[in-house]
Amino acid sequence: MNLRDSCVPYRCPTPESLTGVVERITYHAEESGYTVARIQCPRAKELVTVVGNFANIQAGQTLQLKGIWKNHPQYGQQFEVQQYTETKPATLTGMEKYLGSGLIKGLGPVMARRIVAHFGLETLEIIENKTERLIEVPGIGKKRVVMIQKAWATQKAIKEVMVFLQGHGVSTAYAVKIFKQYGQNAIATVTDNPYQLADDIYGIGFLTADKIAQNVGVSPWSKYRYKSGLLHVLSQAAEDGHCFLPQPELMKLGAEILSNGGHQAEIEAISAIIEEMGQQQALMVEKGEGGMPLCYKPAFFYTEENLAQLLRQQLSLPVEVDLPRVRNWIERFTQSRGISLSPQQQQAVEMAVSSRIMVLTGGPGTGKTFCTRTIVALWKAMGKKIGLAAPTGRAAQRMGEVTGLEAKTLHRMLEFDPSTMGFKRDKDNPLPYDALVVDETSMLDLFLAHSLLKAIASGACLLLVGDRDQLPSVGPGKVLADLIDSGKIPIVRLSVVFRQASQSAIIRAAHQINEGQYPYLEPISDPAKSDCLWHNGGTEPEHGVQVVCELIRDFIPRQGFNPLTDVQVLCPMTRGAVGTRNFNQVLQQLINPPSPDKAEVSTRGMTFRVGDRVIQLKNDYEREVFNGDLGRVWAIDPVEQELTICFDGRDVVYDFADLNEIALAWSISIHKSQGSEYPVVLLPIYTSHYIMLSRNLIYTGLTRAKKLAIIIGSSKAIGMAVRQVNQQERYTRLKERLGVKLMEVWR
């Protein structure tokens, strides 16, 4: 394999123009507009396949297309449409086909033939401007004339919207989405307030809306622009885990993206807009310590406030338990199994059954799993109905295996309803459990934690299990850390590493990292000595790519592992030579190269091939797959335009139009790996990742390995990560809300 060739930058083909008549539609997704069609071009001997997004498309339409030619390995040459306009058919045959294609309600092929025979080349002019004359055609009555008139007006409106949007720099894909959302009001919406698009249409954010606004002539000082920009900054902050931003920080970041050349004027304008948004409750502005104004999007403010209230209510309910009887049960239980609990574990079991909410935390090898299993057994002996859940499918599966009871993902347990985009389980329809265990709670974000607490029955017990030293949730908040730091929740922290666990170098190294020590790593030259190895990958990231490939190709198979199923490359970042994007391209070629017997499909510059490992990028409640779920491409059907992925034994079907929901997963980010375990983990750590390097990042990545971990990179980068306790503190106030009463919100 030539690694240099795999990293050559891709050069975009030069756009070309194409004109032709649509002969047939192979596939059209109503929601997205994604279409595969066959068109007849002048002087072309064969039909041309075109793919792209169309608001509506029918056989017989004459289209002027702009795009690029691509050679698909399975389907051959295709024209990928970037922009299109419709023109009127110029021939009688073309008009017949166009009118009879089903484009216009009330007109079929027979009636279209009669109309064209009667009016000839004037047909389209008559339909557009003198529709009443259609009554001259035998078989057309007044009712049908009205139907044709309305349908033609609708088609004309679609065409006008598409021409307007594309004429103002809106891509065809977005133009289709805009038309689907607003219909004939699309032009008015885009002209009046294009920033509305960022709120209403998935995939169009502030930056895209801002470009559209510039093209349609919206003032850069528009209030719509400032409000949308500030909300965009808060949304970006939420992606970094923040629930709010201090007002000075919001103003600074807002000025950077809204800059019109006068920084001071920008700050003053933003300050005025924040005040106005606060009065309208488009923002919630709360006084923090020292009177600092803190700016929340309303949903974040009310969710955080209500979560704290639910926790306080649950904690206020008394628990009646006979502790001497509990201790007797523990003694009999442990003696009958020839096991013993440490003092910390004994405390955890007793506290769990005598508390409404308890947090059990600790690092790897400290016995969280053993302790949880004992608590579940005790609750079962007490006759309680027990529920087990975790944020991810794999974590839930592990939990079920350990306890012998069914465990579910939180989304499945809370019964998400796609029709309402909410959970069926809530305060009016609580979960039917007397006791509930939730594992991997470091992954709980603000909104999922809130949904969980809303659904817990009054008087039920909740055990939250997690390692606070792992990375916080991908979503906003740091719920587990805030609960622990609040001092209001009963906590047991297990700290003793048991002898059997201490024999694992992975666990020893993880605890060393967590304590701020440079971990002891055995050189890869002697793999028999350790399950945690070090490969000096030099200082150049490109060399790290080569090392990872060599390990997967040669070293890993010699250790008895299968590169196709057992190995996961975890990266601190997505970008760069040792980021997930580049690794996925390189590793796909290495582990699952193209083959005549493997179907594949290309989209957004990415190729998916049968056998590829993939990851879900967003929660898809209808398919019941969630952000971070890993699967394998099982089948690709070019006729039905469908791709089938197997997620933990369950087949899920995707339309080609929905492939933006998945990505290759030969390499994933450490953040995305939370809640999962892999037989072998390869961790490339380089100083080029310095922005992301932190102690809990490398700790989380290392503890994903079950049997073998190999760190590749520079010792300097590892040292940087170990010294950096927290890459960035998240702005949350759950801890404060659980404690003292907060100051009044500025309404």
**One-letter amino acid identity for 125?**
E
- 361/434 same-domain check: yes
Cβ atoms < 10 Å from Cβ of 645: 24
- 416/486 same-domain check: yes
Asked if residue 696 has pLDDT above 70, the reply is yes
The pair of three-digit structure tokens given for residue 298, joined into one six-digit string:
């309303």
Does residue 307 belong to any structural domain of this protein?
no
With vertex at residue 522, the alpha carbon angle to CA 518 and CA 523, rounded to the nearest 5 degrees, is 110
- On whether the CB atoms of residues 241 and 471 are closer than 8 A, the answer is no
Instruction: For residue 461, give its domain range.
Output: 312-495
Phi, psi (5° rounding) for residue 483? -65, -45
- Cα 492 from Cα 464, distance rounded (Å): 11
The pLDDT score that the predictor gives to residue 387 is 96
Please compute the mean of the pLDDT values over residues 461-479 and round it to a whole number. 92
The pair of three-digit structure tokens given for residue 57, joined into one six-digit string:
């498309």
User: What mean pLDDT, rounded, does the chain reach?
Assistant: 86
Smallest Cα–Cα separation from 296: which of 286, 305, 310, 306? Answer: 286
The pLDDT score that the predictor gives to residue 422 is 86
Does residue 230 belong to any structural domain of this protein?
yes
β 76-87/62-72 pair status: antiparallel
Asked if residue 7 has pLDDT above 50, the reply is no
Does residue 141 belong to any structural domain of this protein?
no
Half-sphere exposure of residue 74: CA atoms within 13 angstroms, side-chain side: 18
User: Residue 554 has what DSSP assignment?
Assistant: I
- Cα 695 from Cα 369, distance rounded (Å): 24
- 379/475 same-domain check: yes
Smallest Cα–Cα separation from 310: which of 133, 503, 457, 126? Answer: 457
The pLDDT score that the predictor gives to residue 435 is 96
Cβ atoms < 10 Å from Cβ of 296: 23
Please compute the mean of the pLDDT values over residues 77-86 and round it to a whole number. 85
Highest-scoring range by mean pLDDT, 21-25, 52-56, 201-205, 592-596: 592-596
Cβ atoms < 10 Å from Cβ of 215: 15
The pair of three-digit structure tokens given for residue 277, joined into one six-digit string:
């948004």
- 539/578 same-domain check: yes
The pLDDT score that the predictor gives to residue 700 is 92
- On whether the CB atoms of residues 81 and 66 are closer than 8 A, the answer is yes
Q: Which residues of 456-486 are buried (b: 16+ CB within 10 A; e: fewer)?
A: beeebbbbbbbbbbbbbbbbbbbbbbbbbbb
Smallest Cα–Cα separation from 372: which of 386, 391, 393, 383? Answer: 386
Residue entry with tokens 């450490």: 670
- End of a domain among 266, 296, 326? 296
CATH of the domain at 240: 1.10.10.2220
- Cα 439 from Cα 315, distance rounded (Å): 20
- Cα 579 from Cα 583, distance rounded (Å): 6
- Bind-site residues: 365-369
Residue 726 banded pLDDT, cuts 50, 70, 90: low
More confident residue, 172 or 537: 537
Does residue 135 belong to any structural domain of this protein?
no
Asked if residue 744 has pLDDT above 60, the reply is no
CATH of the domain at 50: 2.40.50.140
Domain count, the chain: 5
- 708/731 same-domain check: yes
Does residue 283 belong to any structural domain of this protein?
yes
Asked if residue 2 has pLDDT above 50, the reply is no
Give the pTM.
0.75
The pair of three-digit structure tokens given for residue 168, joined into one six-digit string:
């103002």
Q: Dihedral sign, CA of 544, 549, 551, 554?
A: negative
Residue 101 banded pLDDT, cuts 50, 70, 90: low
Length of the chain (residues): 747
Does residue 401 belong to any structural domain of this protein?
yes
The pLDDT score that the predictor gives to residue 556 is 93
Residue 587 banded pLDDT, cuts 50, 70, 90: very high
| Residues 319-362: tens digit of each pLDDT | 888 999 999 999 999 999 888 889 999 999 999 999 999 999 99
Cβ atoms < 10 Å from Cβ of 244: 28
H or E stretch covering 283: none
The pLDDT score that the predictor gives to residue 122 is 87
CATH of the domain at 447: 3.40.50.300
The pair of three-digit structure tokens given for residue 408, joined into one six-digit string:
């579910």
Write the DSSP assignment of 22-38 as a string of letters.
Answer: EEEEEEE-TTT-EEEEE
Classify burial at 677, counting beta carbons within 10 Å of its beta carbon; exposed 0-12, middle 13-18, buried 19 or more.
middle
- 342/458 same-domain check: yes
- Cα 89 from Cα 285, distance rounded (Å): 59
List the single range of 165-179, 185-199, 212-226, 381-395 with lowest mean pLDDT.
165-179
- Cα 359 from Cα 207, distance rounded (Å): 41
The pLDDT score that the predictor gives to residue 103 is 61
Highest-scoring range by mean pLDDT, 70-79, 307-316, 363-372, 500-509: 307-316
| Residues 602-649: tens digit of each pLDDT | 877 789 999 999 999 887 877 888 878 899 999 998 767 789 999 988
Highest-scoring range by mean pLDDT, 95-99, 196-200, 306-310: 306-310
Asked if residue 70 has pLDDT above 90, the reply is no
- 262/390 same-domain check: no
More confident residue, 320 or 529: 320
Does residue 487 belong to any structural domain of this protein?
yes
List the single range of 1-10, 133-142, 476-485 with lowest mean pLDDT.
1-10
- 614/584 same-domain check: no
Contact partners, residue 208, CB within 8 Å, separation at least 6: 174, 197, 198
Work out the percent of the chain whose per-residue pLDDT is above 70: 93
Does residue 290 belong to any structural domain of this protein?
yes
- Cα 188 from Cα 329, distance rounded (Å): 72
- Cα 251 from Cα 143, distance rounded (Å): 60
- 533/656 same-domain check: no
Residue 5 banded pLDDT, cuts 50, 70, 90: very low
Half-sphere exposure of residue 188: CA atoms within 13 angstroms, side-chain side: 5
Q: What torsion, rounded to 10 degrees, do the Cα atoms 513, 515, 517, 523 define? A: -30
Residue entry with tokens 């009054």: 458
| Residues 407-437: tens digit of each pLDDT | 999 988 999 887 777 899 999 999 999 999 9
More confident residue, 156 or 454: 454
Residue 264 banded pLDDT, cuts 50, 70, 90: low
- 355/486 same-domain check: yes
- Bind-site residues for ATP: 365-369
- Cα 179 from Cα 514, distance rounded (Å): 52
More confident residue, 120 or 166: 120
- 511/566 same-domain check: yes
The pLDDT score that the predictor gives to residue 494 is 93
Residue entry with tokens 């990505």: 663
Classify burial at 335, counting beta carbons within 10 Å of its beta carbon; exposed 0-12, middle 13-18, buried 19 or more.
exposed
* Radius of gyration of the CA atoms of the chain, in A: 30
The pLDDT score that the predictor gives to residue 437 is 97
- On whether the CB atoms of residues 330 and 379 are closer than 8 A, the answer is no
Write the DSSP assignment of 160-195 as a string of letters.
Answer: HHHHHHHHTT--HHHHHHHHHHHGGGHHHHHHH-TT
More confident residue, 555 or 392: 555
More confident residue, 457 or 207: 457
Residue 27 banded pLDDT, cuts 50, 70, 90: confident
- Cα 68 from Cα 52, distance rounded (Å): 11
H or E stretch covering 448: helix 446-455
- End of a domain among 495, 526, 546? 495
The pLDDT score that the predictor gives to residue 6 is 35
Strand partners for 436: 387, 462
| Residues 279-303: tens digit of each pLDDT | 899 999 999 888 999 999 999 999 9
- Cα 690 from Cα 698, distance rounded (Å): 12
The pLDDT score that the predictor gives to residue 261 is 58
Query: Residue 685: which region, alpha, beta or left (left: phi > 0; alpha: psi -120 to 50)?
Result: beta
Residue 592 banded pLDDT, cuts 50, 70, 90: very high
Asked if residue 8 has pLDDT above 60, the reply is no
* HEC profile of 251-306: HHHHHHHHCCCCHHHHHHHHHHHHHHHHHCCCCEEEECHHHCEEEECHHHHHHHHH
With vertex at residue 226, the alpha carbon angle to CA 221 and CA 229, rounded to the nearest 5 degrees, is 135
- 466/447 same-domain check: yes
Residue entry with tokens 């019941």: 624
- Cα 293 from Cα 247, distance rounded (Å): 6
Contacts by 151-158, CB closer than 8 A, 24 or more apart: 151/103, 151/104, 151/105, 151/106, 151/107, 152/104, 152/127, 152/128, 154/184, 155/56, 155/103, 155/104, 156/128, 157/183, 157/184, 158/55, 158/56
The pLDDT score that the predictor gives to residue 501 is 64
Smallest Cα–Cα separation from 593: which of 612, 578, 574? Answer: 612
- Cα 294 from Cα 289, distance rounded (Å): 10
- End of a domain among 70, 86, 102? 86
H or E stretch covering 316: helix 298-316
Residue 667 banded pLDDT, cuts 50, 70, 90: very high
